[in-house]
Amino acid sequence: MFTADGPNWRCEAAAAPQIAAPQPAKGKKDTSKVYTKEEVAKHKTRDSRIWVTHQGKVYDVSDWADLHPGGAQRLMLAAGGPLEPFWAMYQQHNQPAVRNILQQFQIGELEGGAAASQPVEDPYKGEPERHPILIVRTQKPFNAETPKDILAEHLITPNEFFFVRNHLPVPHVDASSYSLRIEGEGLRALHLSLEDLKTKFKKHSIIATLQCSGNRRDDMAQVKPIKGLDWDVGAIGTAVWGGVRLRDVLRAAGMDDEAANSEVQHIQFEGLDQDESSTHYGASIPIEKAVDPFGDVLLAYEMNGSPLPADHGYPVRVVVPGVTGARSVKWLARVVASKEESSSHWQQKDYKSFSPNVDWDNVDWSSAPALQETNVQSAITEPKPGAKVGAGMDLPVKGYAFSGGGRPIIRVDVSADGGKTWTTAELQRAEQQQRHRAWGWTLWNAEVPVPADQKGPVQLMAKATDSSYNSQPDTAGPIWNLRGVVNNAWHRVDVDAE
């Protein structure tokens, strides 16, 4: 697929490409030659050159293949045919930066013009309804976050306000015919219906926070441009998840402690959502987390006491508490015990963090591990940026804090004077937050003194500390990474004192 930002990043609000396309030869290029579909179809390998069509024009993108951020393999999926099916799936391609790159490779016209292009049915027709209060970041695929003023008002986020992170169209699943396949190293294959999960295994419920790996990316984008959805602080939410333990299901398929310690290193998940090339979203977690009796990994079929909403994985999803949301695969189709990590793009070439000096020209995806446990995080939800506050007054400040790996938040500190003095916030936790199993966030509030001599701009700052005494870094610059993930710098909100 011809993308400016790779096979996953194309799903997000793509920034202008950081990689320049090869410059065309000097002089005017003849693009008037007419080719038939059959002629284009002959050019789908490196040896024969890689041609694609779009809106009645023919392009030779061979010289772009090795520069393509998602790799030549992804570009080859459209080789010898139209781009329209893929660009219908990832509609962020309809932007000048992508079209300008493509235009440089035009070699001619398609016989029949635009009318000869493959008709495309909108893969997003029939998407579920969403609450209008959500802050939409992209429509297709749908991605939206929870408004700040709602986040800190609910220890348990209502389903309709819970942030939505979709990489592909929402699949339409008939629960009555749903079947989950369990297979892999040392297991006997199982096919489990939704009813099987509900009746053959003990139900287990947990309160767990899920956070998108890119939450607070907009702060990191202030350091240097980043490709990705422009998330503020609302790509996070907490729910009561009900379902069955992954550990129990793996044991029913024959996994024992010896196999878990030797033959199997990872548990892979594959969703029912897929793109035009039948690529399914996938991810994996280490076996230690999957089978830990205190790890609480669920195959969930309920969210806050109701069947999972369509946007959140109906009828069954994985919930991996304490781990970045990218591993909690929705619309679950397969669970595979393996010696290897998931080969999915989203496991191998996305949701990883690198040194600030790594960019799209020198990134080596194999040099960094896939994100798993979430780092310590906090954010201010009230007051809002630009709010009028009283100088010399105690200002009510609210927010949330969270850390991965089951580590509870032990302290949140808030400052209104550049960090000279700090106010320790009062903490509010949901139930079930046991030692090493604190899967839910902590809401906090503080009365923060605004300096009496401070008129005009005032910057509020918040930082959290977890039970391992991990604390947030001061600024985003030293932790900047090309994907803008796991930003957990002190959160800052500018208000106006008067």
- Looking at 165, 204, 216, 491, which residue is catalytic? 165
Instruction: Specify the 3-state DSSP secondary structure of 291.
Output: helix
pLDDT of residue 76: 74
Domains, the chain: 9-116 (3.10.120.10), 135-356 (3.90.420.10), 377-497 (2.60.40.650)
Which candidate in 43, 54, 93, 317 is catalytic?
Answer: 93
Q: State the pLDDT at residue 80.
A: 86
For the record, the structure tokens of 5 come out as 């930002």
DSSP for 304-317, please give it: TTEEPPGGGTTT-E
What is the torsional sign of CA 107, 111, 114, 119? negative
CA 463, CA 424: separation in Å to the nearest integer?
A: 10
Of residues 43, 212, 301, 483, which has the active-site annotation?
212
- Classify residue 19 by its DSSP letter: S
Predicted local confidence at residue 365, as pLDDT:
95
Q: Which of 54, 68, 74, 247 is catalytic?
A: 68
Phi, psi of 40 (to 5 degrees): -65, -40
Q: Report residue 361 CA to chain centroid gap.
A: 23
Q: Is the peptide bond before 451 cis (omega within 30 degrees of 0)?
A: no
| Predicted confidence (pLDDT) per residue in 84-101, tens digit | 777 776 666 667 878 888
- Whole-number Å distance between alpha carbons of 280 and 291: 24
Which of 178, 351, 400, 437 does the annotation list as catalytic? 351
Farthest CA pair distance, the chain = 76
58: which strand partners? 53, 108
Active site residue 204: no
Q: What does the pLDDT read at residue 123? A: 87
Residues of the chain short of pLDDT 50, as ranges, are: 1-20
Q: Is 167 a catalytic residue?
A: no
Overall residue count recorded for the chain in this entry: 498
Pairwise CA distance, residues 265 & 98, whole Å: 40
pLDDT on residue 119: 67
Q: Is 191 exposed, middle or buried (0-12, 13-18, 19+ CB in 10 A)?
A: exposed
Collect all residues with Cβ–Cβ distance below 8 Å to 248 and sequence separation of at least 6.
201, 202
How many angstroms separate the CA atoms of 277 and 445, rounded?
48
Map tokens 């310590």 to a residue: 376
- pLDDT for the residue numbered 19: 45
> Cβ neighbours of residue 262 under 8 Å, at least 6 residues apart?
none
172 is catalytic: no
351 among known catalytic residues: yes
Per DSSP, the three-state class of 302 is: strand
User: Rounded CA gap, 384 and 364, in Å?
Assistant: 39
Told to judge if 11 belongs to the known catalytic residues of this protein, a careful annotator would answer no
Pair of tokens at residue 495? 């208000």
